[in-house]
Amino acid sequence: MKGGIHFHVVFDLEKVGLPGTGKTLLAKAVAGEAEVPFISCCASEFIEMYVGMGASRVRDLFSQAKKVAPSIIFIDEIDAVAKSRDGKFSLVSNDEREQTLNQLLTEMDGFESDSAVIVLGATNRADVLDPALRRPGRFDRVVTVQYPVNQSSSGRRNRERKTDKRSPDKNGREAILKVHVSRKGLPLGEDVALSYVASMTPGFTGAELANLVNEAALLAGRQNKAVVQKIDFLHAIERSIAGIEKKSVKLHGSDKAVVARHEAGHAVVGTAIANLLLGQAQVEVNTKHKEMEMSKTVSSFHLSLFPAKRNMSSMYP
């Protein structure tokens, strides 16, 4: 943007672009640091039943950005209008979507050297984008947004990327929790250690951790607490993993025995697998003796297995 130079960036999340990585949050951070007008929209908003509406909205978007330049345009879920036109990713032709894409390409080609407008696009399906959108002069710079990983060891960091590309590691989760606790200004109880909460949330994405903090605050607020305590975070984790407690469902007699044997099987298998892996610490077993309504079934016990130490990748070269 400085010196009359403009460039376009697309967040290519072809390999690690699962939801919850923070694509939208990163775009907002860029706008905040640049201190320029930030025009945000979702690509799906361009398309309607009336032919020509999508192209018209694209023209209006770029016209607005040029009027307040220097500015940033952020198009979220850009694959909604920018799928490849070779028919590989769609069974039928969509003239309205193609017209919208053509208008987007035209607007990006029409930038002058002093337009001072930056275009950011976000997608978690970079593999379906039309090649014309990613040629030099349009979205010619690709930034891969990954989950944060432990920075303490480059060797370990590389191994973790190979074995777990879906979610941040413990240090990453703790950092994310600190950000959301700070943003909400939550008063934490003396028994709360965010490092412990991070260790109890393996597999959680950034978006899920943000929701976890909000859920813990809601639980504390419903009990008129002055601070958010450790038990509130544990109940929030339980809700995220197993669902909301359904007090109306009661299991009796043989039903309880069946569920108990089932969950005991999980515990035995989990511990046995941990013992088979050389150099692995014992698995911590946490039983939740509550009646939970699961997504497809109802269980009176919920078993969670958490590795005491994250070193599973150490046995691989």
Q: Where are the domains of the chain?
A: 2-142, 148-242, 246-317
C-alpha closest to that of 24 among 6, 11, 33: 11
What pTM did the predictor assign? 0.58
What's the confidence (pLDDT) of residue 214?
92
Which of 9-18, 68-77, 101-110, 271-280 is predicted least confidently?
A: 9-18
- Angstrom distance (rounded) from CA 287 to CA 290: 9
- Omega before 168 within 30 of 0, i.e. cis: no
Task: Judge: domain 148-242, CATH 2.40.30.10.
Answer: no
The residue among 315 and 58 whose pLDDT is bigger is: 58
Structure token pair of residue 301? 């016990």
Cα–Cα distances in angstroms (integers) from residue 140 to residues 23, 102, 309, in the given order: 18, 17, 41
Q: How far apart are CA 156 and CA 149, in angstroms?
A: 9
Q: Which residue has the higher pLDDT, 228 or 168?
A: 228
Closest to 36 measured CA to CA, from 138, 122, 118 = 118
**Helix (H) / strand (E) containing 237:** helix 230-242
What contacts 105, CB < 8 A, 6 or more positions away?
132, 133, 138
- In this structure, are residues 146 and 20 in contact, taking their beta carbons and an 8 Å threshold? no
* Residue range 2-142 in CATH 3.40.50.300: yes
Q: What is the mean pLDDT of residues 245-257?
A: 71
Mean pLDDT, rounded, for 110-118: 67
pLDDT of amino acid 283: 45
Q: Are strands 141-142 and 117-123 parallel, antiparallel or unpaired?
A: unpaired
Q: Is a pLDDT exceeding 70 seen at residue 236?
A: yes
Q: What is the arithmetic mean of pLDDT over 132-151?
A: 69
| C-alpha to C-alpha distance for 314 and 77, rounded to whole angstroms | 37
Q: Give which of 144, 123, 120 is closest to 15, Cα–Cα.
A: 144
At residue 222, does pLDDT exceed 70?
yes
Cα-based distances in Å from 185 to 91, 114, 140, 188, 230: 49, 41, 39, 9, 16
Candidate from 27-36, 94-103, 125-134, 269-278 with smallest mean pLDDT: 269-278
245 counts as catalytic: no
Q: Which residue has the higher pLDDT, 13 or 207?
A: 207
* Residue among 263, 284, 291, 293 flagged as catalytic: 263
